[in-house]
């Protein structure tokens, strides 16, 4: 049902916006997000039903699709995996979440969030850069955006946009969701895009919502609310070079100094 709903939504958007080139879905878009659900909904990549539906959709609409994430099963292991599809329906990227979401938040008022993806999933260990049109796009999944090293490496690899399909927790959302995206955009002078499930207060895991596009000036360019909503936006990639030219921090980095200061071992 979720896959059909996502496909219908993208088809409608394409009909309303014929120049649409890329569609992005949220983390765990085809199943409930929770350690107890992962094994039940796992599929193989790229032969599983969800992947095949995304491939057909990309080909039918002649667009790229960054397919949120699904639980992938391979060789007896489970991964939180984002697949990326080209307009001809071929798989051009497979990102397995590198930093698994492990958290034990104790809220002062009671409640909080306990989550341990590592209890069921295996972490990925490869970076994923895909070419969308002329642009290099770095892929991460939700918790991956807390790790500035990953974003920095993607920037060094020439990315002009980072995309993080997400299902951020409601506890940290108000404090960190926008902050993290604007921080990654400020540091690396590129677009940062997140796509979240809508908030459902009745579900076992309540996602924050607020899908967002942050521009290379680190301004929030567009933001969804908490409900079910699509953002459609034209991205001006010239802005990446404009910002990098005007504030040339990449060239100003003192890698010679940093190298000397490097601790021998991680503390």
Task: List contacts with ligand LYUYDEPV (CB under 6 A).
Answer: 27, 101, 142-143, 146, 167-169, 172, 176
CB of 239 to ligand LYUYDEPV, least distance (A): 27
CB of 101 to ligand LYUYDEPV, least distance (A): 3
Q: If 0-12 CB within 10 Å is exposed, 13-18 middle and 19+ buried, where does residue 185 land?
A: buried
Q: Token pair for residue 51?
A: 């992947």
Cα–chain-centroid distance for residue 177? Answer: 12
CB of 81 to ligand LYUYDEPV, least distance (A): 13
Choice between 151 and 167, CB closer to ligand LYUYDEPV? 167
How does DSSP assign 210-223, residue by residue? --EEE-TT--EEEE
CA-to-CA dists, residue 218 to 146, 157, 257, angstroms: 16, 20, 27
Choice between 101 and 191, CB closer to ligand LYUYDEPV? 101
Choice between 207 and 240, CB closer to ligand LYUYDEPV? 207
CA 147/CA 66 separation, integer angstroms: 21
Choice between 33 and 57, CB closer to ligand LYUYDEPV? 33
CB of 44 to ligand LYUYDEPV, least distance (A): 22
CA 207/CA 101 separation, integer angstroms: 13
CA 66/CA 132 separation, integer angstroms: 10
Q: What angle do CA 52, 57, 60 make, to 5 degrees?
A: 125
Choice between 94 and 97, CB closer to ligand LYUYDEPV? 97
CB of 21 to ligand LYUYDEPV, least distance (A): 27
Place of tokens 């909503």: 229
CA 66/CA 231 separation, integer angstroms: 14
CA 82/CA 120 separation, integer angstroms: 17
Residues 217/182, Cβ–Cβ less than 8 Å? no
Q: Token pair for residue 48?
A: 């599983």
Choice between 55 and 194, CB closer to ligand LYUYDEPV? 194
CB of 164 to ligand LYUYDEPV, least distance (A): 9
Which active-site residues does the annotation give? 27, 97, 142
Nearest to 69 by CA among 102, 32, 115: 32
């Amino acid at each position: 049902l979720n896959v059909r709903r996502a496909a219908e939504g993208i088809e409608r958007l394409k009909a309303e916006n014929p120049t649409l080139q890329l569609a992005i879905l949220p983390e765990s878009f085809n199943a409930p997000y929770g350690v107890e659900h992962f094994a039940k909904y796992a599929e193989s990549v790229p032969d599983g039903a969800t992947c095949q539906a995304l491939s057909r959709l990309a080909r039918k609409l002649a667009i790229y699709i960054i397919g949120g994430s699904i639980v992938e099963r391979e060789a007896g292991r489970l991964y939180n995996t984002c697949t990326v599809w080209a307009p001809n329906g071929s798989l051009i990227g497979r990102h397995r979440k590198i930093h698994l979401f492990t958290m034990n938040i104790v809220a002062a008022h009671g409640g909080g969030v306990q989550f341990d993806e590592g209890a069921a999933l295996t972490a990925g260990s490869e970076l994923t850069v895909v070419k969308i049109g002329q642009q290099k796009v770095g892929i991460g999944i939700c918790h991956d955006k807390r790790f500035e090293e990953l974003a920095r490496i993607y920037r060094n690899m020439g990315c002009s946009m980072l995309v993080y399909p997400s299902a951020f927790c409601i506890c940290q959302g108000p404090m960190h969701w926008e902050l993290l995206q604007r921080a990654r955009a400020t540091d690396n002078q590129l677009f940062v895009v997140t796509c979240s499930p809508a908030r459902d207060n009745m579900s076992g895991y309540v996602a924050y919502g607020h899908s967002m596009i942050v521009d290379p000036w680190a301004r929030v360019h567009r933001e969804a609310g908490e409900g079910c909503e699509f953002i459609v936006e034209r991205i001006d990639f010239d802005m990446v070079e404009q910002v990098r030219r005007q504030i040339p921090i990449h060239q100003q980095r003192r890698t010679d100094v940093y190298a000397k200061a490097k601790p021998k071992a991680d503390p």
